[in-house]
């Protein structure tokens, strides 16, 4: 079945460092791909998305490119801030057989220190 694998954390970076969080997927067909972010004590917020191969999603300095050849959707940011500390989830869209559920990775916790 469909699945998402993302790098395990926690990831600790200094402010202004470069961020990469790896995400790979297994899916039949061509799902849409998403990154969601969850700040402490809050719900999930959509960070960015890509709906087809070679699409690049971007938001708030984060970006990710839908790579069909490597089945990847890695999240990157050139210069992280303390306020980026959160848990990041990679997800792919499910079809009717799964109730259109999002299939999430287990999440990667990011801590950015001053």
Partner 1 sequence: NAGVTQTPKFQVLKTGQSMTLQCAQDMNHEYMSWYRQDPGMGLRLIHYSVGAGITDQGEVPNGYNVSRSTTEDFPLRLLSAAPSQTSVYFCASSYKAGNTIYFGEGSWLTVV
Residues that bind partner 1 (CB under 8 A): 32, 34, 36, 42-46, 49, 89, 93, 95-96, 98-102, 104-107
**Inter-residue contact 22 to 9 (CB < 8 Å):** no
Question: Interior CA angle at 52 toward 50 and 58, to 5°?
Answer: 25
Looking at the Cβ atoms of 69 and 100, the one nearer to partner 1 is 100
Looking at the Cβ atoms of 52 and 106, the one nearer to partner 1 is 106
Looking at the Cβ atoms of 80 and 89, the one nearer to partner 1 is 89
Spatial distance between the Cα atoms of 92 and 83, rounded to a whole number of angstroms: 26
CB of 85 to partner 1, least distance (A): 18
CB of 70 to partner 1, least distance (A): 23
CB of 34 to partner 1, least distance (A): 7
Q: Which residues pair with 86 in a beta bridge?
A: 110
**Inter-residue contact 78 to 18 (CB < 8 Å):** yes
């Amino acid at each position: 079945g469909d699945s998402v694998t993302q790098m395990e954390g926690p990831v600790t970076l200094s402010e202004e460092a470069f961020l990469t969080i790896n995400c790979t997927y297994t899916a039949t067909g061509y799902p849409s791909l998403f990154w969601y972010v969850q700040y402490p004590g809050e719900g999930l917020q959509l960070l960015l998305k890509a709906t087809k191969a070679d699409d690049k999603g971007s938001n708030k300095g984060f970006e990710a490119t839908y790579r069909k050849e490597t089945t990847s959707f890695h999240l990157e940011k050139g210069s992280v801030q303390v306020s980026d500390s959160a848990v990041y989830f990679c997800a792919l869209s499910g079809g009717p057989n799964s109730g259109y559920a999002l299939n999430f990775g287990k999440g990667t916790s990011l801590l950015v220190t001053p």
